[in-house]
Each structure stands twice: as structure tokens, then as C-alpha cells.
Amino acid sequence: MLIMKLTESDVRIGDIRTTVIRPATGGSWPGLLLYTDIFQRTESTLRTARRLAGAGFLVAVPEIYPHGNLGGVALEFDDAGKQRGLEGAATTSVAGFDADRLAVLDHLSDRDDVDRIFVTGFCIGGHLAFRAAFDSRVEATICFYPTGLHNGALGKDADAGSLQRAGEIQGRLMIVFGSQDPHVPADARLAILQRLYAEGLTDLELHVFTGGEHAFMRDVGPRHDPILTDHAIIEATRFLNES
């Protein structure tokens, strides 16, 4: 289903500034919590969110650093922006990320225009999406090139233990990588898959896009691959619609 018109609004979930994009027609829709990369709610990420909303989802895009000096800030895709984003991660605990996740999932669960809940995320957001899948309300999760999942690194915690909790995931799971991603190279991808299988998650969907670099779906900068991005969006919407 392709939706021609969308509505877009900003809501506050406690301290968490969240952009909500949904089909303009009435009724209820599957809610999709979308976690950004370290640069937060950039126009690039919101363009992706709009594409997904246009496929028939209510997409909620929260800040991942809402409580400190990065609250309300969309970072630039330059060295300074990258450094500020990494500092935001380095000062955020896993417990803090988890508490914010619960607040946003509670918000989606309480909305009259949401009839079920899915989650997705990019880079660090892919790792956050994986942890969101621990919540039994989440029926399907897509992790795009999740960083730190293979070794547990997340925020200021050296090991979040995310993979060790994979057995808690009750919904469907899809993971997307680029084959040329230095942050999640082949050995890291293999470690993730082996651990997921060991935890009983053998019925998952895995995509490794040939030639894809890290953040190949970010439509700013030389790493962007528009063809692979289109393929990834198509596969993601198919996966969610089948869930």
C-alpha cells in the first residue's frame, strides 16, 4: 500500500522530542519506532521516515540524546557533528537508553491511531532497535547495520550484553548489512549470526548488500548508494507487511 499524503507533527514524550509521521487518512496504522544514527533527527533520516510512512506506517522518530546539551539538536554530517554525536553516546548509559525506549513504546501503545508496534534503527539506532525487540509488544524489528552489537559496545557501557539477551526476542527479526562496512566487518557479522542461532533465533532474515558501505542508506555524502537504499526500503516494507 502506497500513501500519497502524510501528516507530520512533533510531540514530547517526557523530555524526548519525537517527530511523528503518518498517513493523512484516518484510522489506525502499524506504529514504527525509528531510531536515528548518532546525528539524531536530521532531514536525511526524516526523508527515510517519510518513505516508510508512505508505505502505510505511523513512524515515530525520537531523539536518542534528549536529556543533555544535544536535546533539540540535529547534528551536521561533518567531523564536528560526528564528534558531538559520539560524545552524546559516550555519556549515555544503557539504562538511560532503555528507559527512553520504554517511554516511547508506552506512548505508541497508548495511541488510538496505532494498532501494533514495529521497530527499526540505523547504526547505533540499529543496536537500540535490537534492544527494543526485547519488549513483548514489538512484533517485528529491522536493524540496519547495527554498530556495537557484535561486541556489546553501546553508549558509555563497554558491554551492554545485548546479544546475550537475544533469546528474549519474541517478534520477527531482520538485519541488514553492507558488505563493505568497516564497523561491522565479516567476522563481526558472523559472530552476530552465530550468537543469534545459539540463542534459538534461527528464523530470522539477513541481508548483506554487496558493495554497501556503512550508512549506505544515508542520502548525504559519498557512501550513499541510492540503488541499494531502494532495495533495502522495499525489503523492509515487505518484511513488516508480512509480520
- Burial of residue 221 (CB within 10 Å: 0-12, 13-18, 19+) is exposed
DSSP state of 105: H
DSSP state of 77: S
For residue 150, what pLDDT is reported?
96
Looking at the domain assignment, is residue 230 inside a domain? yes
Looking at the domain assignment, is residue 1 inside a domain? no
Nearest C-alpha neighbor of 62 from the set 32, 88, 30: 32
For residue 1, what pLDDT is reported?
61
CA angle 138, 195, 97 (to 5 degrees): 45
Q: How many domains does the chain have?
A: 1
Q: Mind listing the pLDDT tens digit for each residue in 187-212?
A: 999 999 999 999 999 899 999 999 99
SS3 content of the chain, % helix, strand, coil (to 5): 35, 25, 40
Q: Mind listing the pLDDT tens digit for each residue in 100-131?
A: 999 999 999 999 999 999 999 999 999 999 99
Q: Mind listing the pLDDT tens digit for each residue in 215-226?
A: 999 999 999 999
> In the chain, which ranges are continuous DSSP H helix?
43-53, 79-90, 94-110, 124-132, 186-198, 226-242
For residue 26, what pLDDT is reported?
85
Which domain, by its residues, includes 197? 6-242
For residue 227, what pLDDT is reported?
98
**Residue 43: which CATH number?**
3.40.50.1820
Contact, 146 vs 126, CB < 8 A?
Answer: yes
Q: Mind listing the pLDDT tens digit for each residue in 13-40?
A: 999 999 999 999 989 999 999 999 999 9
Q: Mind listing the pLDDT tens digit for each residue in 144-192?
A: 999 999 999 999 998 999 999 999 999 999 999 999 999 999 999 999 9
